[in-house]
């Protein structure tokens, strides 16, 4: 019996040993727990910086920050709740409130969130309903209000230029580790282009939290904590008054206006119509307006000013004139007999309206089709073969910005379409096309696609006599101008002297008999303009107009495109002229014209 004592001693030592070995592995060898314990009890809290403000060129606030209030819920702390009372109190439709609760519960069931973890119930409540809720908050344990900053746009204009910021979605979160769920990120327009400057730097606070997520003091006395750095304030090139006027003039019409300061490439106006109030893209407004924005046949979300666009029409002829002069196929006194059009073959003629035979200057003024078919046709004969000659023209046109994004800072900018030689190889077959095959390029029709920005840029290039600065919206950060190198000076490699004839032709179009754009004429100021009509196989042609003014150091170059507006002179030219007059003289001398443009509805 004595040896039974040993059973007890052995059993005790054995258990002690097993426990100790287990602890040796648990505490000594296994590192998992050390890391897990830290992530468990230390929370990295992010202090969101305020997003930078956005100003127009005159210092008017275009975008700033407001506070929004989210109704948050900690599901583990809630009790049976009067949903109806809560909905009434917060002025949220009962249906929405029920759905929000269902979502909270689903998040827990699907283990997306823990029961102890706060999650938003209703976002972006108004200050009024928040005040009402907070009075009765004691009746709703587990609910609380969280303040958050959201974007506000004081002027309900320039939606396409400003763009918008919204909560980072899955694709953003995946591609950029900077963003955490719930962060805001600029996804269009200036908000996107200058995202990294506007967003600022997040502040980080490391704190201990207990099992209920209550803060229990800072980690290491806060030596790792950083304060948030607010985003930089961005001054844009926009003139919001002019922008507003442009949007009013485009009321009821589809199309775009772009105005550029030629010497700097600064975009003064960027209108895309129909437009919307940029505030619609914020918070609850979005839910309210999103449907109508998406369903509207006018596609208000589309930035027409920089989209792929339409054929530039006759505005393109000015560029062809310059390329022709530079290529040596014409000189200012070259006269091409019009005779009602350019004869392609016995059966085909590119038609032209009746006008006297034109020299180069007058061909611009009167927009002679035959002249530019001739120029283009001659240009395609200059090389070893038509393809090589076309390649040279293609490169020349590209230097004018067509088929490119112009180096602009507008994220939505498209290239338009300037058909490459390869394109025609594909369409017609290699060696099976020549100048006459693609003669419509001479007069800005055919496969060509250009947008208002490119057309305005063409006007600016002519105004500059041979170069353009990449048109842009950003001007200064925190009051400090963006470095000169930000936007490139692009040369067309056309002799400066050649542009004299373009100026004279465009002056004639506005001010001389036989001119196509006499409606754009201003009494006190010389206006240089060129009309265009973009052929539209789906309906009425689009009205196009480009112009710049005044003669001494042009201050504004403009491109206007009115969809289904017919001839360039019908709508595009008057609108451009009104904007230029407003910008240059700050008065309107033709109230009747203004009234007519404001009232016209083409939609």
Partner 1 sequence: MSFNDRRDGFIGQVDWILVGLYLALTLIGWMHVWSAVPGQERLSPFDLSSEAGKQFAWLIICLLVGAAVLLTDTKLLFAFRWPLYGFGLALLLVVLVIGQEVGGNKSWIVLNSFIKIQPSEFAKYFTALALAGYLATPLHLAPPAGRWPGFFWIFMAPITLVMVFADVLLGQGLQMKRVVYWLKAFALIGIPAVLVLAEKDTGSTLVYAAFVLALFRFGLYLIMLYLGLGLAFLFLTSLVVQPWILILGLVLVSIAVWLFLLGRSRKAILPLGFFLVLLSLFTLGGRWVFDTVLLPHQRTRIMVLFDPDLDPKGSGWNVNNSKMAIGSGSWLGKGFLNGTLTQLKFVPKQHTDFIFSAIGEQWGLAGTTVVILLFLTLMMRLILRAEMQRSPFAKAFGYIVACVLFFHFFMNVGTTIGLAPAVGVPLPFVSYGGSSLLGFTLLLFTFIKLDAHNLEVLR
Contacts with partner 1, residue ranges (CB under 8 A): 1, 4-5, 7-9, 11-13, 15-16, 18-20, 22-24, 26-28, 30, 32-34, 36-38, 40-42, 114-115, 208-212, 216-217
Whole-number minimum distance, CB 75 to partner 1, in Å?
13
Whole-number minimum distance, CB 51 to partner 1, in Å?
34
CA 503 – CA 315 distance, rounded (Å): 13
What Rg, from alpha-carbon coordinates, does the chain have?
33
Closest to 530 in 3D by CA, of 513, 547, 543:
547
CA 372 – CA 362 distance, rounded (Å): 12
Q: Which is nearer to partner 1, 216 or 381 (CB)?
A: 216
CA 140 – CA 131 distance, rounded (Å): 14
Q: Which is nearer to partner 1, 13 or 84 (CB)?
A: 13
Whole-number minimum distance, CB 81 to partner 1, in Å?
23
Q: Which is nearer to partner 1, 114 or 423 (CB)?
A: 114
- Strand pairing class (143-152; 184-188): unpaired
Closest to 369 in 3D by CA, of 444, 302, 311, 421:
444
Burial of residue 232 (number of CB atoms within 10 Å: 0-12, 13-18, 19+):
buried
Q: Which is nearer to partner 1, 12 or 227 (CB)?
A: 12
Half-sphere exposure of 200 (CA within 13 A, CB side): 22
CA 328 – CA 322 distance, rounded (Å): 10
Closest to 495 in 3D by CA, of 325, 315, 320:
325
| Bridge partners, 273 (sequence order) | 255
| Bridge partners, 65 (sequence order) | 151
Please list, in sequence order, all residues whose beta carbon lies within 8 angstroms of the beta carbon of residue 17, skipping any fewer than 6 positions away.
none
φ/ψ of residue 103, rounded to 5: -65, -40
Q: Which is nearer to partner 1, 78 or 129 (CB)?
A: 78
Q: Is the preceding peptide bond at 274 cis, omega within 30 degrees of 0?
A: yes
Q: Does residue 414 contact residue 308 with C-beta atoms inside 8 Å?
A: yes
Degrees, nearest 5: CA angle 360-365-366 = 100
Whole-number minimum distance, CB 219 to partner 1, in Å?
9
Whole-number minimum distance, CB 112 to partner 1, in Å?
13
Q: Which is nearer to partner 1, 7 or 384 (CB)?
A: 7
Whole-number minimum distance, CB 117 to partner 1, in Å?
11
CA 398 – CA 457 distance, rounded (Å): 12
Q: Which is nearer to partner 1, 19 or 491 (CB)?
A: 19
DSSP 3-state of 491: strand
Q: Which is nearer to partner 1, 21 or 137 (CB)?
A: 21
Whole-number minimum distance, CB 225 to partner 1, in Å?
17
Q: Which is nearer to partner 1, 3 or 79 (CB)?
A: 3
Task: Give first-to-last CA distance, the chain, whole Å.
Answer: 108
Whole-number minimum distance, CB 79 to partner 1, in Å?
20
Q: Which is nearer to partner 1, 36 or 84 (CB)?
A: 36
- Strand pairing class (556-562; 255-261): antiparallel
Whole-number minimum distance, CB 135 to partner 1, in Å?
30
DSSP 3-state of 177: coil
CA 113 – CA 75 distance, rounded (Å): 10
Taking residue 29's Cβ as centre, other Cβ atoms within 10 Å add up to: 7
DSSP 3-state of 164: strand
Whole-number minimum distance, CB 205 to partner 1, in Å?
17
Helix, strand, coil abundance in the chain, percent, nearest 5: 40, 20, 40
Q: Which is nearer to partner 1, 172 or 207 (CB)?
A: 207
| Bridge partners, 42 (sequence order) | 208
Closest to 192 in 3D by CA, of 170, 169, 161:
161
69 alpha carbon, distance to own chain's centre: 28
Whole-number minimum distance, CB 223 to partner 1, in Å?
16
Q: Which residue is listed with tokens 């589809």? A: 254
Q: Which is nearer to partner 1, 15 or 229 (CB)?
A: 15
DSSP 3-state of 58: coil
Q: Which is nearer to partner 1, 14 or 427 (CB)?
A: 14
Whole-number minimum distance, CB 127 to partner 1, in Å?
34
Q: Which is nearer to partner 1, 23 or 131 (CB)?
A: 23
Whole-number minimum distance, CB 72 to partner 1, in Å?
21
Whole-number minimum distance, CB 44 to partner 1, in Å?
15
């Amino acid at each position: 019996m004595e040896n039974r004592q040993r059973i007890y001693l052995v059993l005790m030592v054995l258990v002690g040993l097993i426990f100790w070995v287990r602890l040796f592995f648990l505490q000594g060898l296994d590192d998992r727990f050390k890391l897990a314990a830290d992530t468990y009890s230390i929370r990295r809290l992010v202090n969101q910086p305020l997003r930078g403000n956005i100003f127009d060129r005159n210092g008017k606030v275009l975008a700033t920050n407001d506070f929004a209030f989210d109704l948050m819920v900690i599901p583990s702390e809630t009790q049976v709740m009067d949903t109806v009372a809560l909905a009434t109190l917060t002025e949220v439709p009962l249906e929405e409130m029920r759905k929000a609760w269902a979502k909270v519960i689903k998040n827990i069931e699907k283990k997306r969130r823990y029961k102890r973890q706060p999650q938003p119930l209703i976002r972006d409540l108004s200050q009024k309903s928040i005040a009402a809720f907070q009075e009765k908050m004691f009746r709703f344990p587990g609910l609380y209000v969280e303040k958050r900053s959201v974007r506000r746009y004081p002027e309900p204009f320039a939606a396409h230029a400003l763009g918008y910021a919204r909560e980072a979605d899955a694709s953003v979160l995946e591609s950029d580790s900077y963003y955490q769920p719930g962060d805001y990120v600029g996804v269009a327009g200036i908000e996107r282009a200058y995202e990294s400057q506007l967003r600022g730097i997040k502040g980080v606070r490391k704190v201990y939290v207990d099992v209920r997520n209550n803060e229990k003091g800072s980690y290491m006395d806060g030596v790792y904590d950083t304060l948030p750095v607010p985003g930089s304030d961005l001054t844009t090139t926009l003139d919001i008054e002019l922008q507003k006027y442009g949007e009013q003039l485009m009321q009821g019409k589809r199309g775009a206006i772009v105005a550029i300061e030629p010497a700097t490439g600064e975009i003064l106006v960027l209108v895309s119509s129909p437009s919307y109030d940029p505030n619609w893209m914020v918070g609850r407004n979005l839910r309210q307006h999103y449907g109508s924005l998406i369903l509207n046949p006018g596609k208000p979300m589309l930035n027409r000013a920089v989209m792929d666009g339409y054929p530039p029409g006759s505005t393109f002829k000015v560029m062809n004139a310059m390329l022709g002069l530079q290529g040596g196929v014409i000189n200012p006194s070259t006269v091409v007999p019009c005779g009602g059009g350019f004869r392609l073959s016995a059966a085909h003629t590119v038609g032209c309206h009746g006008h006297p035979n034109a020299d180069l200057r007058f061909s611009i003024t009167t927009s002679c089709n035959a002249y530019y078919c001739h120029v283009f046709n001659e240009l395609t004969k200059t090389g070893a073969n038509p393809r090589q000659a076309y390649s040279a023209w293609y490169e020349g046109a590209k230097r004018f910005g067509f088929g490119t994004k112009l180096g602009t800072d507008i994220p939505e900018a498209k290239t338009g379409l300037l058909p490459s030689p390869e394109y025609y190889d594909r369409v017609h077959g290699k060696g099976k096309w020549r100048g006459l095959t693609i003669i419509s390029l001479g007069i800005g029709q055919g496969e060509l696609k250009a947008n208002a920005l490119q057309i305005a840029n063409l006007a600016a290039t002519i105004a500059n006599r041979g170069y353009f600065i990449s048109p842009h919206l950003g001007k200064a950060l925190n009051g400090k101008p963006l470095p000169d190198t930000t936007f490139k000076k692009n040369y067309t490699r056309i002799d400066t002297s050649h542009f004299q004839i373009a100026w004279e032709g465009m002056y004639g179009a506005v001010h001389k008999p036989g001119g196509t754009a006499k409606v754009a004429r201003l009494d006190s100021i010389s206006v240089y303009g060129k009309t265009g009509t973009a052929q539209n196989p789906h309906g009425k042609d689009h009205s196009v107009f480009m112009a710049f003014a005044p003669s001494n150091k042009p201050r504004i170059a403009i491109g206007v495109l009115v969809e289904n507006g017919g001839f360039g002179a019908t709508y595009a030219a008057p609108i451009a002229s009104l904007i230029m007059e407003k910008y240059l003289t700050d008065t309107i001398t033709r109230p009747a014209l203004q009234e007519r443009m404001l009232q016209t509805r083409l939609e």
